[in-house]
Amino acid sequence: MSARLACVAVAAEPITDETAGTIALGDLTVRRLGFGAMRITGEGIWGPPPDHDEALRVLRRSVELGINLIDTADSYGPEVSEELIAEALRPYPEGLVIATKGGLTRTGPNQWPRDGRPEHLREACEGSLRRLGLERIDLYQLHAPDPKVPYEESVGALKALQEEGKIRQIGVSNVSVEQLATARGIVDVVSVQNRFNLGDRASAELLAVCQADGLAFIPWFPLSAGKLAASGGAAAEIAARHGVSAAQIALAWLLAQEQMLPIPGTRKVAHLEENVEAARIELGDEEIAELDAAA
């Protein structure tokens, strides 16, 4: 057993609304701990996973553990993540929200060219509908602004798809405060997905806007704690006191923030269960202040 998992008890019980709390995505409500399905693909987020059956088990186990939001994108694989979700979970359980994204293309492992042209976004959305086996996508997110395309045109394409009934709610990703304001001037935006974690708070101003206005903030790369997870770091010391991992403390810290909806991902059921167990960790006010001061 890895050192990361050695002190962690497997989550025997599913999370509930009381365990993780809930958050609104427009007219949808989900628990405040989702599953990010990027890493169930191959290395470099390219091609099929190294263990196809384990990827299916991870997806099914996430639902068994009470997670009711799964986040993916057409670019994960590309297409592989969406196909695995449909294979593992259709017919979808009642109340399960599938969120996906469009606006990136793939030219190889770890390569993410942007394409925010309205015609590409329409093609991407309709492809996701087919792969996921859905008539309407609950939450569709613009994956990233394309510097070659006016942001208003990209957001407008999602608005048109929403008016056609192909998208239920709209989110944005990898945006600045100004770009979020632009998008909200065109459509009702319910969520923002930006990089944010215990060791990287560059999007703190954006989070503050979401907290003030009741938007869900979905942090990607949520488990990183940077130097705080190293020996002697604040996350490592607090983890030792709780008998858990530093990654779990990083996730518990996120869950202590208002309007936060973390979506940690993994290829392994054991890591999934460890992540879910973090929803049961209660950090004291002094511990949160210690982590904030250290960062």
pLDDT tens per residue across span 230-268: 999 999 999 999 999 999 999 999 999 999 999 999 999
> How is the beta sheet containing 137-142 ordered, strand by strand?
35-36, 69-71, 97-102, 137-142, 167-173, 189-195, 216-220
- Give the pLDDT of residue 7: 41
110 touches 45 (CB < 8 A): yes
Interatomic CA distance for residues 81 and 49, integer angstroms: 9
Is residue 169 within a helix (H) or strand (E), and if so which, with residue range? strand 167-173
Q: Mean pLDDT, to the nearest integer, of 94-117?
A: 98
- Give the pLDDT of residue 295: 81
Higher pLDDT among residues 13 and 291, named by residue:
291
pLDDT tens per residue across span 192-233: 999 999 999 999 999 999 999 999 999 999 998 888 899 999
Q: Mean pLDDT, to the nearest integer, of 119-147?
A: 98
Query: What average pLDDT does the structure give for the chain?
Result: 95
Higher pLDDT among residues 289 and 12, named by residue:
289
- % of the chain exceeding 70 in pLDDT: 96
Reply yes or no on whether the pLDDT at 110 is more than 70: yes
Q: How many CA atoms lie within 13 A of 114 on its CB side?
A: 14
pLDDT tens per residue across span 40-56: 999 999 999 999 999 99
- Give the pLDDT of residue 11: 47
Enumerate residues 6+ apart whose C-beta is below 8 A from 164: none
Reply yes or no on whether the pLDDT at 10 is more than 90: no
Q: pLDDT category, 294, cuts 50, 70, 90?
A: confident
- Give the pLDDT of residue 6: 38
pLDDT tens per residue across span 143-161: 999 999 999 999 999 999 9
Structural tokens at position 20: 């993780």
Q: Mean pLDDT, to the nearest integer, of 157-166?
A: 98
- Give the pLDDT of residue 12: 62
Reply yes or no on whether the pLDDT at 166 is more than 70: yes
- Give the pLDDT of residue 4: 41
- Give the pLDDT of residue 9: 45
Interatomic CA distance for residues 44 and 144, integer angstroms: 19
Residues noted as catalytic: 76
Residue carrying structure tokens 């390569």: 111
Interatomic CA distance for residues 59 and 279, integer angstroms: 18
- Give the pLDDT of residue 8: 43
62 touches 30 (CB < 8 A): no
Phi and psi torsions of 37, nearest 5°: -100, 25
Task: Check: pTM over 0.75? Answer yes or no.
Answer: yes
